[in-house]
Structure 1
Amino acid sequence: MKKTKPQSGRPQILKRVSRIVIKKSLGKRRQSTRKLSRRLSIRGNPISHMTIQRHLAQRLDARPYRRPKWAKITQKIKENRLKFARDHENWSFEDWNNVFWSDESPFELFHPPNRQNDRVWAIGSQNIEPIFRLNSQRNYGLGNDVTQSAVRTPHCTPKQTVNGAYYRNEILKKTCLDAIAREAKKGSVIERSMLENMSEFLFMQDGALVHTANVTQQWRSEKFPPFWKKGEWPVNFPDLNPIENHWGIIYERLDEMAQVTTIQALIANLKTAWMTIHRTYFETW
């Protein structure tokens, strides 16, 4: 029997069985390097969690990730999405251009930035500016409508919650109707007509309770009949609404601005952030 020649260098600390156990842990929950270290120690291969971490990164090219948060999609939601897609599969580009998109989003007075995009290189943690938050954080809403031609003036809601009466009286009557009535063919995106032919517009809103309330549906039927009624827009279906992309841009703009401490300053920043979107994004539609 041929003998194995002695090899130079330090022998591998991780045994073959341990390497298999580590590889099988990929993609599984609750498999931290410390837990793997304890498991392998019990099996007779005592190894530090740092060695396991280096093996995962260098040998297996793995990285630690946070589990993504996805909305739970039920069978009913899937069926509604499929029905919506089939009902509109023959729509042309011009048909979608006639949609009057609408949405609202909450914003915090002390909004924490995205920690993945807010890294700071420093010598010692004491040299890093902290993120301040209130013990009792409050949300404030921003609502808007967009079309392929223009946007309406943003409406900031200094309230924790919005009921049906506030939505109809303060948002629909005061801002939406004014935007629909605009007739100018030129000017800024908050001055010109929302569509070239407003007689063909279709008002879109999601399934929020203030949108689908019977009183609100009746009011909308009388003031501007062309709209997607209750149940037509599938729930948990933000992907198709272009305003969802705008909210992400606004958050980035707010992160670039100086932190404010009053609701009035936050509203001013929100309006400024919203109106700067069209300069780099909106005009390219």
Structure 2
Amino acid sequence: MFTDDKIFIRNGYFNPKNDVVWANNRNDANEHGGIHEREKYPVSIMVALGATWNGITVHFFFQRGERLNGKTYLDELLPFYKMGGDRLFGHQNWGFQQDGVSCHTDKSVQKWCKKNFKFFISKDKWLPNSPELNPLDYSICNSISNNVDYYKVKTINDLRREIEKATKKN
């Protein structure tokens, strides 16, 4: 299982280097999305997912203002991933891989993973730069974000619902 977390923001994602509009003049550009407005305090939520060849876990939605730290990861996310993997694989043997974020490399986290996952890639065996290996990093999370209808989002619950709908489209 590959794992990752992402912050979804009602403003969506705007990359000024890549998101360009070709037009004859400024008015035409503005009509075709040339102006990108941002809210000062947009609705946002952090979401964690696990991906396997057998499917994607349900979403883990962080509480408002909650961020990923060692305690949250150990107490909430790891059991969530374990339960999701067991559900997807019917309690068969399956592997768990995470990236090198500091809360993942903590000794207590490594110990928990070695104890609870039959196949676990420890921090000593990770590649130094492995985002290309994780389909959540290079594909799935971006696809979900692109399929969210941000115009329908007014509240956090709306954003959660749109993220769930966008995931089903993948």
Q: TM-score, normalised by structure 2?
A: 0.78
**CA 1:240/1:221 → structure 2, altered by over 3 Å: closer, same or farther?**
same
User: Could you list the per-position Cα deviations for residues 23-63 of structure 1 after superposition, in whole angstroms to 9, with x for gaps in the alignment?
Assistant: xxxxxxxxxxxxxxxxxxxxxxxxxxxxxxxxxxxxxxxxx
Q: For residue 120 of structure 2, what is the aligned residue in structure 1?
A: 227
Say if 2:77 is the partner of 1:171. Answer: yes
Say if 2:15 is the partner of 1:147. Answer: no
SS in 2 for 1:198: coil
- CA drift of 1:210 comes to 1.4
SS in 2 for 1:153: coil
Q: What is the root-mean-square deviation in Å for CA atoms of aligned residues?
A: 2.9
- Matches of 1:155 and 1:210 in 2, distance apart? 17
- CA drift of 1:275 comes to 2.1
Q: Where does 1:58-69 land on structure 2 (aligned, <5 Å)?
A: none
- Matches of 1:132 and 1:160 in 2, distance apart? 26
- Matches of 2:162 and 2:129 in 1, distance apart? 28
User: Could you list the per-position Cα deviations for residues 123-182 of structure 1 after superposition, in whole angstroms to 9, with x for gaps in the alignment?
Assistant: 826756653323356863221111111221021223352111111222221x22222332
Which one has the largest radius of gyration? 1
Gaps of 5+ in 2: none
- Matches of 2:111 and 2:7 in 1, distance apart? 26
Gaps of 5+ in 1: 1-99, 183-192, 278-285
- CA drift of 1:208 comes to 0.7
Higher strand share: 2
Deviating more after overlay: 204-213 vs 156-165: 156-165
Task: Give the aligned residue type for 2:135.
Answer: P
Q: TM-score, normalised by structure 1?
A: 0.49
Alpha carbons 1:105, 1:141 under 8 Å: kept = yes
Alpha carbons 1:110, 1:261 under 8 Å: kept = no
Say if 2:144 is the partner of 1:250. Answer: yes
Q: Where does 1:1-285 land on structure 2 (aligned, <5 Å)?
A: 100-114=1-15, 116-117=18-19, 119=21, 124=27, 130-135=35-40, 140-158=45-63, 159=65, 161-173=67-79, 175-182=80-87, 193-194=88-89, 198-199=92-93, 201-244=94-137, 245-254=139-148, 256-258=149-151, 260-277=153-170
Alpha carbons 2:51, 2:57 under 8 Å: kept = yes
- Matches of 1:131 and 1:119 in 2, distance apart? 11
Deviating more after overlay: 131-140 vs 223-232: 131-140
SS in 1 for 2:3: strand
Runs ≥4 residues deviating over 6 A: 120-123
- Matches of 2:77 and 2:7 in 1, distance apart? 15
Which one has more relative contact order, counting CA pairs under 8 Å at least 6 apart?
Answer: 2
Alpha carbons 2:43, 2:156 under 8 Å: kept = no
Alpha carbons 1:151, 1:194 under 8 Å: kept = no
SS in 2 for 1:162: coil
Q: Report how many residues are paired.
A: 164
Percent identity, aligned pairs only, is: 21
Q: For residue 22 of structure 1, what is the aligned residue in structure 2?
A: none
